[in-house]
Amino acid sequence: MPHRSLPSRDTIAATLRAAGCVFAEDEADMILAAADGDPGALDGMVARRAAGLPLELVVGWAEFGGRRIYVEPGVFVPRRRTEFLVEQALALAPDASVVVDLCCGSGAVGAALTAALAVADLHAADIDPAAVRCAHRNVASLGGHVHQGDLFDALPARLRGRVDILAANVPYVPSDEIALLPAEARDHEPRVALDGGADGLDILRRVAAEAPAWLAPGGHLLIETSPHQAPDALSAFTESRLEARLAVCEERPARVVIGRRP
Ligand SMILES: C[S@@+](CC[C@H](N)C(=O)[O-])C[C@H]1O[C@@H](n2cnc3c(N)ncnc32)[C@H](O)[C@@H]1O
C-alpha cells in the first residue's frame, strides 16, 4: 500500500479556521503531535475538531495544574479556573493527609492535590462510570483511590470525620441555562456534569449538608460557584454550621465557597 503523507500544518489550520477555531495554528500543532505521524488518526482528529468536539477531547488530554490530565469523550473537560480551588485548598491545609475529590470527573482536582501533597490519602468519586474510568487513569497512577456512586455514598465509611480537604467541583449550571452554554459544553459534555437543578445549587446543598459528618475538626470544604450563586451557596454552608467565606479570583475568573468545620 503506498505511503500517504500527512497534510501540512497550514492545510490543517485552514480547515480548522474555516470551522470557526480561533487558535487554528496552535490547535493544528497539538493535533499533529497527538496523531504522531498516523494519517488516518490525523484525519479523524481534524474532522472531529471541525465538527465541534472540544480540542481536549480530540487530543485526549487537558492541561490542569501544570499536568496533563487524560480526558475522553463523555467526560467533563477540567477548566483552568478550577486551579484556583486547588490553590485555595493547598494554602489552607498544606499538611492535609486525607483528601476527597467529590464529583471528580476526570480527577483533575484530585490529581493536582495528590501531586502537591506527598502524604495525602486521596479518594476521588463520581456517579458517572465514564468519569470514574477516566479518573482511574489520572488518580490511581498517583496512588489515589477512585470510587463510583452518588456523592458520599461512594466513599469508604472509615473516612467519616477524618477528611482534611473535601474538594467538590459540583455541577452548578441552572437547568434552564444549559441551552445557553457554548456548543462545546452543551453538545459534548454530559448533562450530569453540568446540571445543578433549578437554581444550580441542588448538588452543592446536598454536599454542604453532609460535609460536616465527613470533615475532620478544622477540615475544609471547597466548592466552586458563580457570582450570582455565591450568596445562596454561602447560606447553604452556614446552615450546615460550617464557618463560611468566599474566595475570589477576578483574573480567571473564579469563585470558591470555603467552609471550615469548627
Ligand atoms: C462540573 S463536573 C466537575 C468535574 C471535575 N471535578 C472537574 O473539575 O473537572 C461535575 C461532576 O460531578 C459529577 N456528578 C454529578 N452528580 C453527581 C452525584 N450525585 N454524585 C457524584 N458525582 C456527581 C458528574 O458526573 C461530573 O463528573
Q: Work out the pLDDT band at 2, boundaries 50, 70, 90.
A: low
pLDDT tens for 43-86 read 999 999 999 999 999 999 999 999 999 999 999 999 999 999 99
154: Cβ contacts below 8 Å, ≥ 6 apart: 125, 126, 127, 147, 148
Q: Is the pLDDT of residue 140 over 70?
A: yes
Ligand 1 atom with minimal separation from the 131 CA: 27
51: Cβ contacts below 8 Å, ≥ 6 apart: 19
Q: State mean pLDDT over 140-169.
A: 96
Tell how far the Cα of 52 is from the centroid of ligand 1, in angstroms. Answer: 22
Q: Work out the pLDDT band at 249, boundaries 50, 70, 90.
A: very high
pLDDT at 197: 98
Establish whether residue 153 lines the binding site of ligand 1, counting it when its CB lies within 6 angstroms of any ligand atom: no
pLDDT tens for 205-240 read 999 999 999 999 999 999 999 999 999 999 999 999
- Give the predicted TM-score (pTM) of the model: 0.96
Q: Among 126, 150, 214, 225, which residue has the most ligand 1 atoms within 8 Å of its CB, making it the best to mutate?
A: 126
Establish whether residue 225 lines the binding site of ligand 1, counting it when its CB lies within 6 angstroms of any ligand atom: no
pLDDT at 118: 76
Q: Whose CA is nearest to atom 19 of ligand 1?
A: 150
For the chain, how big is the Rg over CA atoms in Å? 20
pLDDT at 242: 98
pLDDT at 13: 97
In order of their start, the domains of the chain are 9-70 (no CATH), 80-260 (3.40.50.150)
Q: Is the pLDDT of residue 4 over 80?
A: no
Establish whether residue 82 lines the binding site of ligand 1, counting it when its CB lies within 6 angstroms of any ligand atom: yes
Q: State mean pLDDT over 117-123.
A: 84
Establish whether residue 99 lines the binding site of ligand 1, counting it when its CB lies within 6 angstroms of any ligand atom: no
pLDDT at 120: 73
* Residue 72 contacts residue 34 (beta carbons within 8 Å): no
Establish whether residue 131 lines the binding site of ligand 1, counting it when its CB lies within 6 angstroms of any ligand atom: yes
Ligand 1 atom with minimal separation from the 151 CA: 20
C-alpha cell at 229: 450563586
